[in-house]
Structure 1
Amino acid sequence: MQHRTVRPATTADAAACAGIYAHYVRETAVTFELDPPTEQEVARRIEASWRQHAWLVLTEDDVVRGYAYAAPYAARAAYAWSCETSVYLEPGLRRSGAGRALYQELFATLERRGFRMLVAGITQPNEASTGLHRAMGFTDVGTFTRIGFKLGRWWDVHRMQRPLGPRTAPGPLL
């Protein structure tokens, strides 16, 4: 049996994260990036995420098999306590509990840092991701239709959100 761990990502994890993500960039519309980012670019993203949000990796026997992170939802100051979450797993790990494990730790980290609303955008159709988000407490907000063009066709993106922490006035972000 493999030993599974969720831990904070470091720039040393950039190559593994870039490798996992490249599949989604090249083969799917899960992300609307058209060219896979380099290891150096993913390292920059990991560092940027930790400045305010979080980036975690899931390892099995010390091999990175997935990751989850949060990024700013929008640039305006009033959105500071909201963030957008994403999770990516090696092909074959869907419905294995890996996404749930990553999200549970990510959400706890974000709540400790002072965030109060999580947002997700899911290219449709994607029953596995929609199901994971619903299981993690996200509710439907709406769908942007034909908003992205990739792989020769138009795609819809379904938006979901999940409250985090108390609904009182927020304090400073850590």
Structure 2
Amino acid sequence: AECSVYVSQNVHALGIGGLLYEALQRAPKAQNIVDINACIACGDDEYLNDASVRFHERMGFRFIGRFERCAYKFGRWYDMAWMQKPIGEHLQNQPAMRPFARFRDEICASAGIKI
């Protein structure tokens, strides 16, 4: 499953991104998804740097590949890095993916979210 977390620049380095990713991993893991992937725009200019790649490395992601000049934003072209993190075991007879709707309340309650 591909996942993304965006945190406002004025609250970077407060641990919010890490908390969001920890919470975000609960649902795919409960769905029998065994890997999460992140697609990260890469550049070194006034808009982008390698902070997101470093953050994902700290969160346990590893670099998988890079697509060149495939992301267009801020009026320019950027590369995209793909990173992957295992969150479950790759089994020979992998259980089927569980739809989120079947256990939404359970996941939300474990995260302290009232519906």
Q: Distance in 2 between matches of 1:152 and 1:86?
A: 22
Once the two structures are superposed, the pairs formed by residues 2-41 of structure 1 within 5 Å of their partners are: none
1:136 aligns with 2:53: no
Secondary structure at 1:86's aligned position in 2? coil
1:105-116 equivalence runs, <5 A: 105-116=23-34
Deviation string, structure 1 residues 55-103 (Cα, Å, up to 9, x no partner): xxxxxxxxxxxxxxxxxxxxxxxxxxxx101001122111211000010
Aligned length: 92
Higher relative contact order (CA 8 A, sep 6+): 2
Q: CA RMSD in A?
A: 1.3
Corresponding position of 1:93:
11
Mapped partners of 1:108, 1:152: distance in 2: 36
> Please, what TM-score do these two structures have when normalized by structure 2?
0.73
What SS class does the counterpart of residue 87 from structure 1 fall into? coil
Q: Does 1:173 align with 2:92?
A: no
Structure 1: gaps spanning 5 or more residues: 1-82
**Alignment gaps of 5+ in structure 2:** 44-48, 99-115
Q: Which residue of 1 aligns with 2:106?
A: none
Instruction: State the identity as a percent.
Output: 33
TM-score by length of 1: 0.50
Code of the residue aligned with 1:90 in structure 2: it is S
Shift of residue 159, structure 1, vs aligned partner: 0.8
